[in-house]
Structure 1
Amino acid sequence: MSEQLGILALSAAAIAFFHTLLGPDHYLPFIAMARAQGWSLARTATITALCGAGHILSSVLLGAVGIALGLAASFFEPLDEIRGSLAAWAFMSFGLVYLAWGLRQARKNAPHSHAHPHTDGYVHDHGHAHGGEHVHVHEDGATRLTPWVVFVIFALGPCEPMIPVIMYPAVKGNYLDLIAVTAVFGAVTMTSMLAVVAMPWRARRCSCAVRPCSFSGSETGVARHSACQGKQRG
């Protein structure tokens, strides 16, 4: 490995790590969704990896188009800003919708009572709740759709620091270095995402699904809203 490639690879790894760690939108939505929907670590990791791959590949595709057309890295700055704004607003909107859905589910599952009349005219209430545990988990359409919505948002969201990193070896015409640097950046980004997302399971020393609570949907909406606000500030 040449000295230049070593420096580029090290720079790509460092940029990818800190970009992921300092961007809560890279991991907070997955932790919140796992808690809300009782996902296992394996399922959470799979969805995180797929969204991370979409996040990276969309930027690689954008960079490849620029390389093919001979465009400079500065050409992508306005486009990345537009994509970033779209992704941030999409995350914010999705978080607010999920918050409303979670509050609705919490209200629906709240303990309540029904009047129970007797033949002698005596009336009393029977209290019960629908939020208890079941033998198996039911998923509605909105729950099944959630990972796909997040995937689309991640694909729309640019990986801004990646563009200049991959453009440098491309300008030099060294496409082997370009492939290597892209692979390092993508691997470190996805590994960092998975490591942070897996922390709640490691902290609890539990390999099973995280137990959902009654307000889990609203908590997820708040988490997504907070993550996208952090993305906008970044």
Structure 2
Amino acid sequence: MQNATILLTAASLGFIHTVLGPDHYVPFVALAKARSWSRAKTALITFLCGLGHVLSSVLIGFAGIALGSAVSKLEWIEGLRGDAAGWLLLSFGLAYMVWGIKKAWKGEAHSHLHSHGEEPHAHSHSHEAAHTHPHAEKPSVTPWALFIIFVFGPCEPLIPVLMYPALNTGLGLAAAAAAVFSLVTIATMMSAVFLLLWGFKLFPAERLERYAHALAGFAVFACGAAVKAGL
């Protein structure tokens, strides 16, 4: 009975901490929309980032158990990681937003007035289209940036979930609790991402397409600000 309670607690904490942390899914939704990721690519990136997110905390937790560290010390380490992840989200979001604004500005269609000895008339064109040159597509660093950020991102609720069974029952139950917490966290992340992407399809947003990258950067920046504010 006690084992089942611990596993249920691990599952509940995995679900709640993910749902209450928009930084677990909003960046993927925003960037998937802006960069037109396929469903498969979105799922893969979300899964790998979620895996890095939970495994880093699991490794720290088991290292703490092996070294006999107190919960407070591990939570202090997780706090440092959370602070770093918040700054990384802020920095990446700000940089991406600035790049998105520049991209939208360059691609904005506008008109010039011309006169060829007749009635003046306007020509509308886009600088981005006018200055496009064929190049081999460069691999994007965006997925790697997200992965690094999520590896730094801590799973604070996981530490007591690991420590309690490890100290009172054994490592077997601690490993099972970690696995349940991890699976629920990743599943919740992916479910939230695809649910929000499906919801966005219900609202026409053609007018905002030009600003998709800028808005995605702002969304990531806002998540970083929320993390730094302790929300």
Q: State TM-score, norm by structure 1.
A: 0.85
- Number of paired residues? 222
Match of 1:32 among 30, 33, 56: 30
**Hey, what's the Cα distance between the residues in 2 that align with 1:139 and 1:53?**
31
Q: Could you list the per-position Cα deviations for residues 117-137 of structure 1 after superposition, in whole angstroms to 9, with x for gaps in the alignment?
A: 75x6998653112678xxxxx
Question: What residue number does 1:179 align with?
Answer: 175
Question: What residue number does 1:66 align with?
Answer: 64
**Hey, what's the Cα distance between the residues in 1 that align with 2:88 and 2:191?**
25
**Hey, what's the Cα distance between the residues in 1 that align with 2:17 and 2:83?**
17
Question: What residue number does 2:193 align with?
Answer: 197
CA contact (8 A) 1:131 1:214 kept: no
Deviates more, 1:97-106 or 1:161-170: 161-170
Secondary structure of the residue aligned to 1:35 is helix
Residue 126 of structure 1 aligns with an amino acid whose one-letter code is H
Unmatched 5+ stretches in structure 1: 133-137
Question: What residue number does 1:110 align with?
Answer: 108
**Hey, what's the Cα distance between the residues in 1 that align with 2:6 and 2:112?**
68
Q: Map residues 1-40 of structure 1 onto 2, 5 A cutoff.
A: 3-40=1-38
Residue 186 of structure 1 aligns with an amino acid whose one-letter code is S
Question: What residue number does 2:53 align with?
Answer: 55
**Hey, what's the Cα distance between the residues in 1 that align with 2:215 and 2:142?**
15
The answer to whether the aligner puts 1:127 opposite 2:132 as a matched pair is: no
**Hey, what's the Cα distance between the residues in 1 that align with 2:143 and 2:216?**
13
* 1:6–1:139 distance in 2 versus 1, CA, 3 Å: farther
Deviates more, 1:169-178 or 1:79-88: 169-178
**Hey, what's the Cα distance between the residues in 2 that align with 1:214 and 1:45?**
24
The answer to whether the aligner puts 1:215 opposite 2:221 as a matched pair is: no
Residue 76 of structure 1 aligns with an amino acid whose one-letter code is L
Identity %: 43
Across the aligned residues of Structure 1 and Structure 2, the Cα RMSD in angstroms comes to 2.6
* 1:33–1:7 distance in 2 versus 1, CA, 3 Å: same
Structure 1 residue 204 displacement after superposition: 6.0
The answer to whether the aligner puts 1:188 opposite 2:184 as a matched pair is: yes
CA contact (8 A) 2:49 2:151 kept: yes
**Hey, what's the Cα distance between the residues in 2 that align with 1:130 and 1:54?**
40
CA contact (8 A) 1:41 1:201 kept: no
Structure 1 residue 139 displacement after superposition: 8.8
Unmatched 5+ stretches in structure 2: 130-134
CA contact (8 A) 2:29 2:197 kept: no
Q: State TM-score, norm by structure 2.
A: 0.86
